Amino acid sequence: MKSFKQKMKEKAEREEAERLIAEAKAEDARKWEDWYHERELEQQRLQEQQEEIAQREAYEYEVRMRQRLLREQEIRQRPKPIDTRLLSKRSFTWQAFANHPKIINLPMPEKVRLFKLAQAREIDRINQQPVLGSSPADAAVNYALSFTGDTKNDPRADLVTTDFTPNDPTNKGFAADSGRIPLAKSGFTISYWYRPDETANDAFAMGWKREDTARFSFGMRNAARPYFGIGSNTFGTYGSHNAWYNMFNESGNTDLTDKYIDDSDNLIADGSNWYHIAITFTGREPGGTAINETEWYRRIYFNGKQIYGQNDEAIGTAYNDWHNVDRTGAISWPEGHLDARMSRGFSFGMRALKGTGNYVASDGETIKISKYNNGHACGLDDVAIYNELKDNDWVRSVYNGGTGYNHKDSGGDGLVAYWKFNEGDGTTVKDLGPYGYHGTLTNAAVGEGDDITVQTAIGNIAEGTPTWNDMSKENR
C-alpha cells in the first residue's frame, strides 16, 4: 500500500504532466493562430499586388492604344500624292488642276503657287508639302472578335477564356464587414455589341453556368428567340412573348420589326447586322435597389430601345401588352449559389459549364470542375458589366456612342468588367475594369481529359482561335 507521501508525489507528477501538456497545446494553438494570421496577410498582400499589376497593365494598355491611335492619325494626315495624270498634255489644265480634291478648297494664291510648281514638274516638292486645310477626321482604333462556334462547317470551337465569376465579381467573397454583395443583390447592367452569323439552337455568345440556379449566359435560343440565362431564369426558353418579333411589336418599336425581322418572323442572323444589347436587373435587398421580391425587375434593350420589362421611363408608344408592362419577379437567384465558383470563368464564343466532380481549393471552397459547350458563330465587341442598375437614358447614350463609347471614362459608377476587344492582334483581351480579368484567345478542343470540351459530339474541330476584325471596314 502506497504511503501518503507517495500518493502526493504521484499527484504532483500528474498535475505537472497535465500542465506541460496544456502549455504545449496552448503553444501549438498560438503557432497555428500566428501561421493563419500570416497566411491571411500574405493572401491580402498577394491580392493587392495582383490588383496593382492589373491596374498597371490596364494603364499600359491604354498608353499603347493612344500611341497606336497617334500613329494611325499621323499616317492618315500625310498628304496623298497628286495624280500624275494631271501632268499629261491632255489633262494638265488649270481647270483640271484647280478642281482636284486636294486643291479645290485652297485659297486662290495657294492654288496659283502650286499650279506653277506643277507646271515646272516639281511633283516631289508638291507631294512633300502639307497642303493647307487638309486635316482629316480622327481615325479611331476599333476591332472586334469573330467566333466560328462548334456546329457549322469547319468549326473551331474558338473562344476567349477569363477568370471572371459573374456572381462574385471581386472574387473575394462576401464577408459580413466587407461591404461586398453579389450581382443578384446589387443589381447589374450588361451592355454589348453582338453580330449573329448563324441561326442555331442554344448557342452562347458568352456565358457561365455552375448550377441551374447560378448562371450568367447570353446568346440565341433559336432563330426567333434570344437566350438570356440569369440566376435560375432562362429567358427565351418559354412562351411566345420571348420572341424578338413579339418584343419589338408589343413594346411599340415596330421600326425594329421592319428593319431586323425577316419574312419568317425571325431575327436577321446572317452576319449582316450588328445589334446593341443591354440587360438590366434591379437587384434585391440588402444593398440593391429592390424593396422586395416582387420588384426583381429585368429590362431588355435593343439598339437603344426598351423592348421588355417594367416600364418606368419606357421607350415606345404602345406599352399595352401585359408581357411588356410591369412584368415583375422575372429573375430568381437563390442565396445558396451567390458565391458559387467553378474551375473556369465567364467565356466568350462558348459557355463555361459545370462538368463532373469537384475539388477543394486552398481556402476550403468547393470548386466545380467545368468545361465548355454550345459555341456560337458570331461577332462580339465592347462587353461591359456593372454592379448597378442603369436607366434608359444611359442605355441610349451607350447605343448612340457606338463602339467609340468608353465605359471606363463615361459609364459612371459600378463598372466591374470591361472587355473592349481593341487589341487587334495577339492572344490577349484586356479587361479594362478594376479587377483585370484579362481574356485568352484559345480553342476548346485543346487539352486532354478534364481540359477538353464537354461537348464530345463536336468532332472534326478545326485549328485556330477567334479572329480579329478591323471594324473601320464594317458598317455598324
Please give the full DSSP string across 280-301, using - where no structure is assigned. Answer: EE---TTTSS-SSGGG--EEEE
As a whole number of angstroms, the distance between CA 35 and CA 38 comes to: 5
Residue ranges of the domains in the chain? 1-78, 80-128, 143-473
**Between residues 448 and 400, which one has the greater pLDDT?**
400
Q: pLDDT at position 373, please?
A: 84
- pTM of the prediction? 0.68
As a whole number of angstroms, the distance between CA 348 and CA 159 comes to: 5
As a whole number of angstroms, the distance between CA 466 and CA 349 comes to: 8
As a whole number of angstroms, the distance between CA 166 and CA 341 comes to: 9
SS3 438: coil
Are 331 and 228 contacting, i.e. CB atoms less than 8 angstroms apart?
Answer: no
Among 260, 251, 263, 217, smallest CA distance to 237 is for 217
Are 206 and 347 contacting, i.e. CB atoms less than 8 angstroms apart?
Answer: yes
> Is the model's pLDDT at 409 over the cut of 60?
yes
CA distances to 145, 401, 465 from 470, in Å: 9, 18, 16
Q: pLDDT at position 385, please?
A: 96
CATH number for the domain running over 143-473: 2.60.120.200
Q: What is the mean pLDDT of residues 91-97?
A: 64
Q: pLDDT at position 383, please?
A: 98
3-state secondary structure 257-272: HHHHECCCCCECCCCC
Please give the full DSSP string across 385-434, using - where no structure is assigned. Answer: EESS---HHHHHHHHHHGGG--HHHHS-TTEEEEE-----SSSEE-B-ST
- Mean pLDDT (the chain) is 77
What does DSSP say about strands 143-148 and 377-386: parallel, antiparallel, or unpaired?
antiparallel
All three cell numbers of 102, joined, read 486636294
> Is the model's pLDDT at 140 over the cut of 50?
yes
As a whole number of angstroms, the distance between CA 179 and CA 186 comes to: 11
